[in-house]
């Protein structure tokens, strides 16, 4: 009995010992395998995000920032890219990008002016651009764009361009109120009164320096700005109808003819920029902001504070008043609503095989469009602080919490200077806070006047927005150049305005009739018959 018990204990002990050894060995092997795996994983190189080289081209008014500036270095570091956008002077933009595309050197992205829509359509039909439909639902900032704003960039059922936000609020024109007061003149409310003011600014020494060194309207090449005080006179509104009841482009309308006559009268009196036909946009601005001309354009956004600062240094007593819309012969009174976009971005079709690079480009583009209301303009907002070059380096905040640049654009200090698109997208529920974009008190006051004027009148919504005309794509640029050239001759007296109908007939014969036909087919299809004001 004792022997049996002893034998049983020996067996139990052997089982325990064997199990323990097996367990210990198993744990050791498992631990060893885990360690081996960890060491193996540690020895593998970490996967890093690919660093893309991203090229681009866009237009600029003024001088571009220097290549390789602090802002560009910050951009490349933040997004892990080699990013460079060529900023081309506006007057050379079309010529240069056309040469790029024709030579097979199109960059990854091009940001166009709204006026380049004919060129965009031509190249989109030639499949030069990347269709963007598959990417729109991937990015919240693209999903925010209203459906109607995709229409101008939709060609053969595909979307090829991304619109940049622009307000629907209209522009107007600003007049030197101190000059009006000096000459005891009222704020003009019609073209007849505006003509009298412009001539007085030219001949009656409104700045009191006893010199004939001032004049009325600042205007430059392409008859820009147009000085349209309502859609009746505006060149791009399709407000008027012809004898057949079809809407026609403003460039050949009776309202445009009246406006060209107005300019011709002023040209005879030397009351507008004498060599306007060859004066670029920067120099046109200089005519007003150097205190030579007394009347010029103002918009709710995009005005140059540097220009206004320079004017006030020349003449600290300068005061300004914004013109309200004039009453048109048909009884209408109000401005035209903006299209809702000012420029647009396209991507190179060759990026079709590089979807991750496209996503990186769209990520960067989306970042540059963030909107920062005044309540968020603080260094505590990391995106805002970085975008504008850091508080104390690129900017400071004034007593109203408004950003004040500390450097000139030529220094290249701020990252925002280097993005292809640095225009914030102001959503439907956002307050654009237009006057707060400036610290110059006079510019803020004038901007607020324009905002208030826009609130006081209904806006006209043209029937032509978003229409793509094949005939216009083919002939539009050439025909527009023809009309500008002939109307410039009429202003300068090199062609009589009595030949207006002959000019219109030539426009129609060269392809204008087809453009009108195609536009009206779409307009009628939309059910648009009468003017829409709201």
Residue 136 located in a structural domain = yes
Is it the case that residue 105 has pLDDT exceeding 70?
yes
CB 102 within 8 Å of CB 96: no
CB 161 within 8 Å of CB 111: no
Residue 134 located in a structural domain = yes
Query: What whole-number distance in Å separates Cα of residue 212 and Cα of residue 201?
Result: 10
* Whether residues 369 and 227 fall in one domain: no
Domain residues for the domain of 518 are 172-336+436-533
Supply the DSSP string of 284-325, one letter for each residue. HHHHHHTTSEEEEEE-SS---HHHHHHHHHH-TT--EEEPPP
pLDDT band at 20 (very low <50, low <70, confident <90, very high): very low
Worst-scoring range by mean pLDDT, 21-30, 109-118, 181-190, 303-312? 21-30
Among 362, 389, 418, give the residue marking a domain's end.
418
Mean pLDDT of the chain, nearest integer = 90
- Between strands 52-60 and 109-113, the pairing is parallel
- What tokens does 393 get? 């380096």
* Whether residues 361 and 460 fall in one domain: no
pLDDT at 321: 98
pLDDT at 526: 79
* Whether residues 411 and 448 fall in one domain: no
Is it the case that residue 33 has pLDDT exceeding 80?
no
pLDDT band at 265 (very low <50, low <70, confident <90, very high): very high
H or E segment and range at residue 356: helix 355-368
pLDDT at 468: 75
Among 418, 448, 476, give the residue marking a domain's end.
418
pLDDT at 48: 67
Q: What is the mean pLDDT of residues 391-401?
A: 90
pLDDT at 13: 35
CATH number at residue 487: 3.40.190.10
* Whether residues 317 and 452 fall in one domain: yes
Supply the DSSP string of 363-432, one letter for each residue. HHHHHHT----GGG-STTSHHHHHHTTTBTTTEEE-TTS-EEESS-GGG--SGGGGSS-------TTS--
Q: What is the mean pLDDT of residues 183-207?
A: 98
**Cβ count near 94 (within 10 Å):** 17
- What tokens does 55 get? 């090229």
CA 216 to chain centre: 29
364-382 pLDDT, tens digit each: 999 999 999 888 889 999 9
Question: For residue 111, which of 92, 126, 123, 97 has the smallest C-alpha distance?
Answer: 97
H or E segment and range at residue 269: none
pLDDT at 525: 82
List of residues 6+ apart from 138 with CB closer than 8 A: 359, 362
H or E segment and range at residue 346: strand 341-347
Which backbone phi and psi does 460 adopt, to 5 degrees? -90, 130
pLDDT at 115: 83
Is it the case that residue 293 has pLDDT exceeding 90?
yes
Which backbone phi and psi does 512 adopt, to 5 degrees? -65, -35
| Long-range contacts at 202-206 (CB < 8 A, ≥ 24 apart) | 202/269, 202/270, 202/271, 203/269, 206/176, 206/179, 206/180, 206/182, 206/294
* Whether residues 453 and 329 fall in one domain: yes
Worst-scoring range by mean pLDDT, 98-107, 146-155, 433-442? 146-155
Residue 478 located in a structural domain = yes
Residue 20 located in a structural domain = no
Is it the case that residue 349 has pLDDT exceeding 70?
yes
Is it the case that residue 3 has pLDDT exceeding 50?
no
37-82 pLDDT, tens digit each: 444 444 455 556 799 999 999 999 888 999 999 999 999 999 999 9
- What tokens does 297 get? 């354009």
pLDDT at 12: 37
- Between strands 320-322 and 172-176, the pairing is antiparallel
pLDDT at 439: 85
Residue 431 located in a structural domain = no
Residue 208 located in a structural domain = yes
pLDDT band at 318 (very low <50, low <70, confident <90, very high): very high
* Whether residues 227 and 373 fall in one domain: no
pLDDT band at 269 (very low <50, low <70, confident <90, very high): very high
CB 423 within 8 Å of CB 343: yes
Query: What whole-number distance in Å separates Cα of residue 447 and Cα of residue 402?
Result: 15
Query: What whole-number distance in Å separates Cα of residue 70 and Cα of residue 418?
Result: 10
Supply the DSSP string of 489-533, one letter for each residue. HHHHTSS-GGGHHHHHHHHIIIIIHHHHHHHHHHHHHTT--S-EE
**Cβ count near 195 (within 10 Å):** 19
424-456 pLDDT, tens digit each: 999 878 888 999 888 899 999 999 999 999 989
Among 388, 418, 448, give the residue marking a domain's end.
418
* Whether residues 131 and 188 fall in one domain: no
The residue with greater pLDDT, 174 or 340, is: 174
Secondary structure of 98-144 in HEC code, one letter for each residue:
HHHHHCCCCCCEEEEEHHHHHHHHHHHHCCCECCCHHHHCCCHHHHC
The residue with greater pLDDT, 204 or 432, is: 204
CB 348 within 8 Å of CB 108: yes
**Within 13 A of 55's CA, how many CA atoms are on the CB side?**
9
- What tokens does 98 get? 């056309």
List of residues 6+ apart from 487 with CB closer than 8 A: 223, 251, 256, 260, 503
Query: Burial letters for 47-64: b for 16+ Cβ neighbours within 10 Å, e otherwise?
Result: eeeeebebbbbbbbeeeb
* Whether residues 161 and 211 fall in one domain: no
Residue 9 located in a structural domain = no
pLDDT at 232: 98
Q: What is the mean pLDDT of residues 488-510?
A: 98
pLDDT at 429: 80
pLDDT at 229: 98
Query: What whole-number distance in Å separates Cα of residue 505 and Cα of residue 66?
Result: 48
Worst-scoring range by mean pLDDT, 96-105, 174-183, 466-475? 466-475
Supply the DSSP string of 1-69, one letter for each residue. -HHHHHHHHHHHHHHHHHHHHHHHHHHHHHHHHHHHHHHHHHHSPPP----EEEEEEEEESSPPPPTT-
Q: What is the mean pLDDT of residues 182-207?
A: 98
* Whether residues 366 and 510 fall in one domain: no
* Whether residues 318 and 449 fall in one domain: yes
The residue with greater pLDDT, 28 or 314, is: 314
pLDDT band at 15 (very low <50, low <70, confident <90, very high): very low
């Amino acid at each position: 009995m004792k022997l049996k018990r002893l034998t049983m204990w020996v067996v139990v002990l052997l089982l325990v010992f064997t199990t323990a050894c097996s367990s210990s060995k198993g744990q050791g092997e498992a631990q060893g395998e885990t360690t081996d795996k960890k060491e193996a994983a540690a020895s593998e190189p970490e996967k890093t995000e690919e660093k893309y080289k991203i090229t681009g081209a866009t237009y600029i008014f003024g001088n571009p920032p220097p290549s390789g500036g602090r802002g560009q270095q910050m951009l490349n570091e933040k997004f892990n890219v080699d990013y460079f956008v060529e900023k081309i002077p506006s007057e050379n933009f079309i010529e240069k990008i056309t040469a790029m595309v024709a030579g097979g050197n199109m960059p990854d992205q091009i940001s166009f002016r709204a006026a380049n829509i004919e060129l965009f359509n031509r190249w989109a039909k030639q499949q030069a651009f990347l269709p963007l439909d598959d990417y729109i639902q991937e990015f919240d900032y693209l999903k925010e764009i209203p459906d109607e704003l995709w229409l101008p960039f939709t060609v053969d059922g595909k979307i090829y361009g991304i619109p940049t936000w622009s307000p629907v609020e209209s522009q107007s024109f600003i007049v030197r109120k101190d000059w009006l007061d000096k000459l005891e003149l009222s704020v003009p409310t019609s073209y007849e009164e505006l003509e009298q003011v412009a001539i007085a600014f030219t001949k009656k020494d409104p700045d009191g320096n006893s010199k004939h060194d001032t004049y009325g309207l600042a205007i430059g090449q392409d008859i820009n700005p147009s000085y349209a005080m309502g859609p009746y006179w505006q060149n791009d509104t399709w407000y008027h109808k012809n004898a057949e009841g079809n809407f026609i482009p403003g460039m050949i309308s009776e309202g445009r003819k009246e406006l060209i006559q107005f300019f011709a009268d002023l040209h005879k009196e030397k009351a507008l920029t004498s060599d306007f036909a060859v004066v670029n946009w920067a120099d046109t601005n200089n005519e007003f902001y150097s205190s030579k001309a007394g009347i010029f354009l103002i918009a709710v956004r995009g005005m140059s504070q540097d220009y206004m600062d320079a004017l006030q240094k020349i003449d600290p007593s300068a005061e300004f008043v914004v013109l309200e819309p004039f009453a048109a012969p048909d009884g209408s009174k109000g401005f035209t609503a903006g299209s809702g976009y000012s420029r647009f971005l396209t991507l190179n079709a060759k990026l079709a095989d590089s979807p991750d690079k496209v996503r990186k480009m769209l990520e960067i583009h989306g970042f540059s469009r963030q909107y920062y209301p005044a309540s968020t303009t603080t260094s505590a907002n990391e995106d805002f602080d970085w975008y504008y070059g850091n508080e104390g380096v690129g900017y400071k905040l004034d007593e109203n919490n408004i950003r004040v640049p500390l450097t000139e654009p030529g220094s290249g200090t701020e990252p925002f200077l280097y993005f292809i698109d640095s225009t914030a997208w102001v959503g439907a529920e956002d307050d654009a806070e237009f006057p707060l974009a400036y610290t110059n008190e006079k510019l803020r006051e004038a901007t607020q006047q324009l905002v208030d004027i826009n609130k006081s009148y209904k806006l006209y919504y043209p029937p032509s927005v978003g229409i793509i005309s094949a005939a216009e794509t083919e002939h539009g640029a050439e025909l527009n150049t023809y009309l500008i050239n002939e109307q410039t001759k009429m202003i300068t007296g090199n062609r009589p305005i009595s030949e207006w109908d002959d000019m219109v007939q030539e426009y129609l014969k060269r392809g204008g009739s087809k453009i009108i036909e195609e536009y009206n087919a779409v307009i009628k299809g939309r059910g648009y018959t009468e003017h829409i004001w709201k």
